[in-house]
Amino acid sequence: MSQPGPDDEPTEPHGSLRPTSARALTTCAVVGLVLGWGIHPLMVRVGGRAPLVSWSQALALVLVALIMSFLAWHTWQTVQVRGERLEPHQAVNRLVLARACALGGTLVGAGYVGYAVSWLGDDSQYADRWILRALVAAVAGAVVALASLALERACRTDGGRPQA
């Protein structure tokens, strides 16, 4: 094995980053549905009452969805429309944020769907209230996931390869 000489130029690392896979999103959705559906009967059995779904939970997800939507739009305008390049650390940060929020939004959104389903047929006076709030939170979680996938797409340059 030879030692690198002073004339040897270090090669830039080459790698690829693939878009968030449908398999990962599907896995998160299935896990979220099962956990959301199972938490209601489990908490009733263990603690005597089901967890409450407040409007603040749903509104927090709406806020995250709005932030991710704005960031996706802004990145799209910067990279795709105006043809500007992001700083490498910005591109990496946005890609990591996009992937995390896509998976997290899918998991949480499906979890709220599962929780809403667990209330169907329940005689409780609060069932309709929890179903509505859980479905609003589920829609917001889905928007978080979709906006995150749009942000991931907006970061792509050079013929579809990620910038970072």
Q: pLDDT tens digits, residue range 135-150? A: 999 999 999 999 999 9
Residue 160 has pLDDT above 60, yes or no: no
Length, in residues, of the chain: 164
Provide, rounded to the nearest whole percent, the portion of the chain with pLDDT above 90: 65
Residue 13 has pLDDT above 80, yes or no: no
End-to-end CA distance of the chain: 32
Of the pLDDT bands very low, low, confident and very high (cuts 50, 70, 90), residue 4 is low
> Residue 44's closest CA among 122, 109, 101?
122
Distance from C-alpha of 20 to C-alpha of 3, rounded to nearest angstrom: 39
105 to 25, 81, 98, 123, 162: CA distances (angstroms): 9, 27, 10, 30, 22
Position of tokens 């390869």? Answer: 161
Burial 92-106, CB ≥16 within 10 A → b, else e? bebbebbbebbbbbb
What is the per-residue pLDDT for 48? 86
